[in-house]
Amino acid sequence: MRLASPRVPLPFRFGYSKAQHGPILLLAPVAVLLLLFCLPLLYVFLRAREAGWDASWQLLMRPRVLELLANTITLDLTVTLGSVVLGVSTAWFIERTNLPGRKVWNVLVTLPFAVPAFVSGYSWISILPRIEGFFGAALVLTFSYYPLVHLPVAAAFRNMDPALEETSRSLGYGRLATFTRVTLPHLRPALAGGAVLVALHMLAEFGALAFLNYDTLTVAIFDQYEVAFNSAMAAILTFVLLLLCLMVLVLEFRVRGGFSYEHSRKSVSGTLEKIDLGAATPWVLGAFTVLVAMAIGVPMGSLTYWIATGSSAAFDLPEIGSALYATVGFGLGGATLATLFALPLVILAVRYKGFFSSLSDRLPYFIHSLPGLVIGLTFVFFSVRYVNPLYQTVVLLLLGYAMLYLPLAQSSIRGVLVLIPRQMEEMARSLGKTPPVIFFKVVLPLVWSGVGAGFALVSMKVMTELTATLILRPTGVDTLATKVWEHTNEVQYAASAPYAILLILISGLPVYLLTMRRAGRKKG
């Protein structure tokens, strides 16, 4: 397959613009968004400056900082590699083989992402205390995050033009050569996008690592803020975390490349023949069963055990109902705001070439690598000083959610938009259609599946978010995640279990609907 040439700007104007970097009606909202996303960077800089440059350098050179850096990199690489192996394997067996019950397995292998990592962490540690440390952290977090690779890679398998592999096979290439020469390059955008999300999630992970007793930069940042009250040291550590994020994004950009992957489907058969597993079927089914049992069965089994046997078990229905209402409301609100932010940003990044579009496309991934604690303290810092009426309001909390999880909506929308030929928009323009009509009648319907996928992923992550919620929530408002944290901090595992189970169930609903919708669309 010959990749298309690097993208060129589409003559698609929402307003007057002399440059080829995008129309003004796209640039304006993205510019506002860009300024908003610069606030955490400004906050880190201001806090770090308080220590002075000489003192900051001495703090950076401490053996403890180097140890935290090594721990963070080692765990990040291990979990990302493990997630790629698991995610690609599950996607391939489900989408490309005759595995029995593929539709059910597609849902089951995706559900671990609905289990908050900190819930998985305390579930494992509560029944198996010896699992703490690097091994336990790598195991638990790989099970939590591999769906971030499985989802986009499975979608890429489904959307792949069958003619590509048919042509390769007709030229005499075997299945392995076809996979490495044709299939894998086609998966590169989805694989790189999923891997970078796993890597960035790992850089920002806190709750699970706190339970599993493995120190990384994020855990140390939380300790400096909450225990030592040393905001300067925490800012220095955050700066190191941002440098790691930069390395991840540069690597992802080089892997993905600057090419367009859009294509037209020209297969005669229209579908790819499923590979017969034959005698390997029981072994594959066994492997899937073990994976689901460890990723879903252990957390759910642990929570059920504590409800049944724990002395602190209690069911305060009004309190549970209030936490559930707040959790769902915040999830829907945060997902809506993140999706509205993501649409103009992705269109600008994909359809227009330039430094500004590239910067605005990459900056949210920077922020995504920051712990929710840093985002929360950033908003507290600026709201108290400059926009005090917003302090401890739902608006500020939703903005924090949108900033934290915008990349989830970005990657989902981008994965669909890059496959849409520009000629469709050019044709609509040649027929006299105005830019707003083209967007609502042509672009939006075609990217709607990506919008829905992004909305589902963001809503699920917002409902399970912990650290930013602890800082930014309005006074007296609790979510399911904060109630779980409150009880587990007091070693009341049974008391936290009802909140944790309910959190898993409601956050699993978007994932279930997402996978079922994709399966239904594929069947249709």
Has residue 13 got a pLDDT over 50?
no
pLDDT at 11: 37
Give the residue carrying structure tokens 């979510």.
Answer: 479
Query: H-type helices in 116-230, by residue range?
Result: 117-127, 134-145, 147-159, 162-170, 175-178, 184-204, 207-212, 217-226
Q: Which of 415, 414, 416, 421 is nearest to 360 (CA)?
A: 414
pLDDT at 314: 64
Has residue 261 got a pLDDT over 60?
no
432 neighbors 471 (Cβ within 8 angstroms): no
The better pLDDT of the pair 65, 398 is held by 398
> DSSP state, 14?
S
pLDDT at 17: 40
- pLDDT tens per residue across span 317-330: 788 889 999 999 99
Give burial (CB, 10 Å; 0-12/13-18/19+) of 151.
buried
Residue 434 burial (CB count, 10 A) = 12
Over residues 334-362, the mean pLDDT reads 83
The better pLDDT of the pair 332, 211 is held by 332
The better pLDDT of the pair 351, 273 is held by 351
- pLDDT tens per residue across span 78-109: 999 999 999 999 988 998 888 898 888 988 89
Over residues 174-184, the mean pLDDT reads 63
The better pLDDT of the pair 313, 465 is held by 465
Has residue 524 got a pLDDT over 70?
no
The better pLDDT of the pair 253, 148 is held by 148
Has residue 138 got a pLDDT over 90?
yes
Band (486; pLDDT cuts 50, 70, 90): confident
295 neighbors 504 (Cβ within 8 angstroms): no
Has residue 1 got a pLDDT over 50?
no
CA distance 500 to 502: 5
Has residue 500 got a pLDDT over 70?
yes
The better pLDDT of the pair 18, 495 is held by 495
CA distance 113 to 118: 12
Token duo for residue 90: 């599950």
Over residues 363-372, the mean pLDDT reads 77
Q: How far apart are the first and last CA of the chain?
A: 27
Over residues 16-21, the mean pLDDT reads 44
pLDDT at 397: 93
Give burial (CB, 10 Å; 0-12/13-18/19+) of 239.
middle
CA distance 346 to 240: 28
Percentage of the chain modeled with pLDDT above 70: 81
Sorted by sequence, the CB contacts under 8 Å of residue 411 that are 6+ apart come out as 152, 193, 194, 197, 454
What CATH topology corresponds to 24-259+283-523?
A: MetI-like fold (1.10.3720)
What are the angstrom distances between the C-alpha of 297 and each of 128, 187, 430? 14, 30, 56
pLDDT at 87: 92
What are the angstrom distances between the C-alpha of 93 and each of 90, 96, 99, 101, 154? 5, 6, 7, 11, 10
pLDDT at 6: 40
308 neighbors 463 (Cβ within 8 angstroms): no
CA distance 207 to 119: 8
CA distance 234 to 392: 23
The better pLDDT of the pair 193, 174 is held by 193
- pLDDT tens per residue across span 235-245: 778 888 878 88
What are the domain boundaries of the chain? 24-259+283-523
Q: Which amino acid is at 20?
A: Q
CA distance 103 to 109: 10
CA distance 401 to 408: 11
Q: How big is the chain, counted in residues?
A: 524
Which range (136-140, 156-160, 362-366) has the least confidence?
156-160
Token duo for residue 400: 């924090």
Has residue 373 got a pLDDT over 90?
no
pLDDT at 288: 93
pLDDT at 174: 58
pLDDT at 90: 93
Query: H-type helices in 1-52, by residue range?
Result: 24-49
Q: Which of 178, 245, 353, 271 is nearest to 522 (CA)?
A: 271
Which range (49-53, 94-98, 190-194) has the least confidence?
49-53
Give burial (CB, 10 Å; 0-12/13-18/19+) of 211.
buried
The better pLDDT of the pair 381, 25 is held by 381
Which range (134-138, 389-393, 413-417) has the least confidence?
413-417
Has residue 263 got a pLDDT over 90?
no
Mean pLDDT of the chain: 78
Has residue 35 got a pLDDT over 50?
yes
Percentage of the chain modeled with pLDDT above 90: 14
Has residue 189 got a pLDDT over 80?
no
